[in-house]
Amino acid sequence: MTATVNKLVRALTAVTAAVVLTSCEAGKDDGGPPPLVPMPANVPAKPVYKDSDDVVRALGSAGFPCRVLRRAKTDPRFGTSLDCEAEIDGTAVENEVHVSNPDGYERDRIGDAIASRRKAPYSHTLVAAGNWYVRVMEPRYAPRIAQALHGVVLRPEADRIPDYPLPSIPAEPRYKNVGALADALDAAVGCADRTSEGAAALGCTTGKRTGTPNCATLALHDTPAERDRTLREAIAYKGVPATLVAAGNWTVNLCDYGLGERVARALHGRVVRYDGG
């Protein structure tokens, strides 16, 4: 009996060793976990928010109070998450807010999380910048959330922006930096409370001197094709009006739709407008 047991033990030990060896070899073959997917290049490095409640406050300051619906049970050492509901043009828009701890966060880890959400079967529409991203449940309102938070819209990977016809965009003027573009806008309709969104983009407030403050997003573009993609992205959402001014290597996305013609005259640009229909 003892001999039989010993034979079984030796057999099981051999099988276990073979399984472990096979597992180790498999790990060598596949090279371990895949590398992290970097943050998309067009996502600005700022603003950085302290936590998800900080994002809710920013939405409220931009005119979109967001009622907290639920909070995720997360370790605050790594970040916080919550769901909130904002009213935009009479529509209740639910948002999932995810913020990594601003102390020592890794942008590529956020980029990896963003990449997984943009792929099928999830195919989420996100707004992102800095150390955070927001899933906008009503994708057509993502540009409004992006303007409010000074982020960029990230569509699902399978989505393609239609080649909407654009008016003829003047080749000039061009600006050496986004600060010079902001100064030109400031001389026309104001550009206060500037918030950097990277070397080639910033957000600011128009109309503050006249008592009608509203937001604007300014950006420089490397090529006319990149500029036109930005214009088409802004007018891609049915039901969400948009007014932009563009020329040369720049675009100005105005939250105050009535300023389009005035800004175009002052900056020698062309208005690109979508009424949301």
Pairing of strands 250-254, 242-247: antiparallel
Rounded Cα gap, residues 213 and 202, in angstroms: 16
Q: What is the pLDDT of residue 197?
A: 65
- Within 10 angstroms of residue 214's Cβ, the number of other Cβ atoms is 19
CA neighbor of 88 nearest in space, from 151, 141, 150: 141
Query: Tokens at residue 226, please?
Result: 């990149």
Q: Counting Cβ atoms within 10 Å, is residue 229 exposed (0-12), middle (13-18) or buried (19+)?
A: middle
Domain spans in the chain, listed from the N-terminal domain onward: 52-154, 178-274
Using only C-alpha atoms, what is the Rg of the chain?
25
Q: What is the pLDDT of residue 236?
A: 82
Rounded Cα gap, residues 123 and 117, in angstroms: 6
Per CATH, which fold does 178-274 belong to?
Phosphorylase Kinase; domain 1 (3.30.200)
Intrachain domains 52-154 and 178-274 with the same fold: yes
Q: What is the pLDDT of residue 195?
A: 81
- Is 52-154 in CATH node 3.30.200? yes
Each residue of 190-243: pLDDT tens digit? 999 888 766 788 888 999 988 898 889 899 999 999 999 889 988 887 778 899
Average pLDDT by consecutive 10-residue portion of the chain (277 residues)? 38 31 38 84 89 96 93 88 91 94 90 92 92 93 90 84 89 96 97 81 88 90 92 84 95 94 97 85
Query: Tokens at residue 246, please?
Result: 């563009």
Q: What is the pLDDT of residue 30?
A: 56
